[in-house]
């Protein structure tokens, strides 16, 4: 067992934690050949289904398989209840924050969040200023990345308010486990996640423009098959029973969006778009984009279509704004944040920058606008040259970075050829906001850093996934 980390199965003791006793017994009893065989079967099945993702900047990896680990990650019902309450609180505050930023800007006037952090951020969209998103929902689908360091607290690592991906893995991983290890699954009272598509559909329906008739037409807008998450886009369209469209399938006439079909044009009311802001409308954003539809923003601003998530929502998932989340929650809800934030140095502040530069080899440094684990320095694992490069980057653009302590992420048992070993994990639950409230299925995507000692769980950086079992029984 690795030293100094919270292992979710053993917590450093000889006996496993109560909720893990079933898994521990199974691991003890199962011959290594069985585990090996199940692993091979899992890989084969994933290949057959064709769940792949593309890694940007890598030549031969257009269609790579995310490694799947067959040992489930367990959470007790009591742990989940705490986490769920924190997620609901956080996402409510995020939506209120966005409504405020594009509206009256009370939080800026109150001096809680520095205005330059918002307005100098490329994700702030001046085009949205003064506009109210339908039902004041900006981030219909949020992915909140969570880590644990002990058996008590959950920490939020980052908020993803734009187009968080990975939910298809959450659903496929569950199917896989039920097929591969039906006995183990049956021995545990695992709460279901398979109603996620129904929840998503209900949330999107509720977010339709207020004037819309009973049955809004919903589509998923994908950038196309070369996007790294294309599999997920088509998967979700299939599960939701809605059309998967590309920009060229849409046309906007007199501020109304139509989808071209073999039966003529059909009016579209809600677009779950997996296309970034920059690309959704060549008349308003990038003129060279062919991934969106010309006039879409006009239709949106006229209130004739709902875009999920709303344009400009990305300003809330900025890593520097993240550091203010406890204040943001207090400001709008008058409550203390139920989920903790990781201590963060804002390099834009003189003292913080000084500290960070002196402790680069201990810290994790992240680009304020980065995502997917790109543009990140993990001090303890970095070479001298990498540290030097980051020192220069920090000096030339301190505003562009934040730093955090290297967290002792919790570990979970993970199966490899030749045995089982603990590996670091995080969790991305998906939080759905609709006009009728917040919906979360119990679970999420557990990502696991497969390399020994590695803390980077991003699939683009060699991470794998696990099924997350939220149990009806309590951990304590």
Instruction: Choose between 282 and 422: whose C-beta lies nearer to other proteins.
Output: 282
* DSSP class per residue in 175-216: HHHHHH-HHHHHTS-BPP-TTHHHHHHHHHHHTS-TT--SS-
SS3 6: coil
Instruction: Choose between 104 and 248: whose C-beta lies nearer to other proteins.
Output: 248
Say whether residue 16 binds other proteins (CB under 8 A). Answer: no
Say whether residue 224 binds other proteins (CB under 8 A). Answer: no
Instruction: Choose between 118 and 352: whose C-beta lies nearer to other proteins.
Output: 118
Query: Which regions of 217-305 does DSSP assign to beta strands (E)?
Result: 218-221, 243-245, 250-253, 256-261, 264-267, 270-273
Task: Give the count of beta carbons closer than 10 Å to the beta carbon of residue 18.
Answer: 12
Say whether residue 118 binds other proteins (CB under 8 A). Answer: yes
Minimum CB separation from other proteins for residue 114, in Å? 9
Q: State the Cα–Cα distance between residues 463 and 455, nearest whole angstrom.
A: 9
Count residues contacting other proteins (CB under 8 A)? 32
SS3 352: helix
Output the CA torsion sign for 235, 457, 139, 91: positive
Q: State the Cα–Cα distance between residues 332 and 394, nearest whole angstrom.
A: 33
Say whether residue 110 binds other proteins (CB under 8 A). Answer: no
Distances (CA, A) of 81 to 10, 302, 332, 434: 22, 40, 22, 20
Minimum CB separation from other proteins for residue 281, in Å? 9
Say whether residue 54 binds other proteins (CB under 8 A). Answer: no
Say whether residue 295 binds other proteins (CB under 8 A). Answer: yes
Residues 111, 264, 287, 334: which binds other proteins (CB under 8 A)? 287
Say whether residue 313 binds other proteins (CB under 8 A). Answer: no
Cα–Cα nearest to 69, from 109, 38, 26, 91: 38
Residues 72, 166, 223, 298: which binds other proteins (CB under 8 A)? 298
Say whether residue 252 binds other proteins (CB under 8 A). Answer: yes
Question: How much of the chain is helix, strand and coil, in % rounded to 5?
Answer: 35, 25, 40
Residues 284, 307, 377, 407: which binds other proteins (CB under 8 A)? 284
Residues 78, 136, 255, 327: which binds other proteins (CB under 8 A)? 255
Pick the piece of the chain touching other proteins (CB under 8 A) from 55-63, 75-83, 284-292, 381-389: 284-292
Say whether residue 109 binds other proteins (CB under 8 A). Answer: no
Instruction: Choose between 116 and 358: whose C-beta lies nearer to other proteins.
Output: 116
Instruction: Choose between 130 and 453: whose C-beta lies nearer to other proteins.
Output: 130
Say whether residue 251 binds other proteins (CB under 8 A). Answer: yes
Q: State the Cα–Cα distance between residues 320 and 318, nearest whole angstrom.
A: 5
Burial of 381 (0-12, 13-18, 19+ CB in 10 A): middle
Say whether residue 115 binds other proteins (CB under 8 A). Answer: yes
Pick the piece of the chain touching other proteins (CB under 8 A) from 81-89, 165-173, 224-232, 283-291: 283-291
Say whether residue 254 binds other proteins (CB under 8 A). Answer: yes
Structure tokens at 281: 């409308």
Query: In the complex, which residues of this chain contact other proteins (CB under 8 A)?
Result: 115-116, 118-122, 124-130, 248, 251-255, 282-287, 294-295, 298, 301-302, 397
């Amino acid at each position: 067992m690795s030293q100094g980390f919270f292992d979710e199965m053993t917590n450093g003791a000889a006996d496993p934690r109560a909720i893990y006793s079933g898994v521990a017994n199974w691991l003890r009893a199962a011959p290594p050949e069985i585990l090996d065989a199940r692993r091979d079967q899992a890989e084969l099945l994933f290949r057959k289904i064709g769940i792949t993702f593309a890694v940007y900047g890598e030549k031969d990896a257009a269609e790579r398989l995310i490694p799947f680990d067959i040992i489930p990650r367990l959470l007790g019902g009591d742990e989940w209840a705490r986490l769920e309450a924190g997620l609901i609180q956080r996402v409510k505050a995020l939506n209120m924050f966005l409504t405020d930023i594009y509206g009256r800007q009370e939080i800026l006037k109150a001096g809680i969040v520095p205005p330059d952090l918002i307005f100098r951020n490329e994700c702030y969209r001046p085009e949205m200023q003064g506009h109210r998103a339908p039902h004041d929902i900006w981030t219909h689908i949020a992915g909140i990345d969570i880590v644990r360091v002990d058996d008590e607290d959950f920490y939020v690592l980052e908020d993803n308010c734009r187009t968080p991906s990975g939910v298809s893995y959450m659903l496929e991983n569950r199917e896989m486990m039920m097929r591969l290890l039906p006995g183990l699954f049956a021995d545990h009272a695992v709460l279901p996640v398979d109603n996620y598509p129904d929840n998503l559909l209900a949330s999107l329906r509720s977010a339709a423009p207020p004037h819309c008739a009973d049955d809004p037409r919903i589509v998923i807008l994908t950038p196309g098959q070369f996007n790294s998450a294309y599999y997920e886009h088509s998967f979700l369209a299939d599960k939701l029973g809605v059309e998967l469209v590309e920009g060229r399938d849409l046309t906007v006439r007199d501020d109304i969006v139509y989808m071209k079909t073999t039966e003529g044009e059909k009016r579209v009311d809600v677009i779950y778009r997996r296309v970034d802001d920059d690309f959704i409308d060549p008349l308003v954003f990038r003129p060279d984009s062919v991934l969106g539809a010309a006039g879409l923003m006009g239709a949106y601003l006229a209130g004739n279509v709902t875009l999920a998530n709303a344009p400009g929502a990305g300003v809330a998932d900025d890593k520097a704004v993240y550091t203010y989340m406890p204040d943001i929650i207090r400001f709008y809800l008058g409550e203390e944040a139920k989920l903790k934030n990781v201590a963060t140095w804002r390099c834009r502040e003189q003292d913080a920058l000084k500290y960070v530069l002196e402790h680069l080899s201990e810290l994790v440094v992240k680009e304020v606008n980065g995502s997917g684990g790109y543009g990140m320095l993990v001090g303890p694992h970095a070479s001298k040259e990498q540290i030097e490069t980051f020192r220069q980057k920090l000096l030339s653009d301190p505003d562009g970075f934040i730093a955090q302590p290297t967290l002792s992420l919790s570990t979970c048992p993970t199966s490899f050829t030749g045995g089982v070993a603990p590996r670091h994990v995080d969790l991305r639950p998906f939080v759905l906001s609709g006009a009728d409230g917040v919906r979360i299925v119990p679970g999420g995507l557990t990502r696991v850093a497969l390399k020994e000692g590695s803390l980077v769980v991003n699939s683009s950086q060699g991470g794998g996934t696990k099924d997350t079992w939220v149990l009806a029984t309590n951990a304590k």
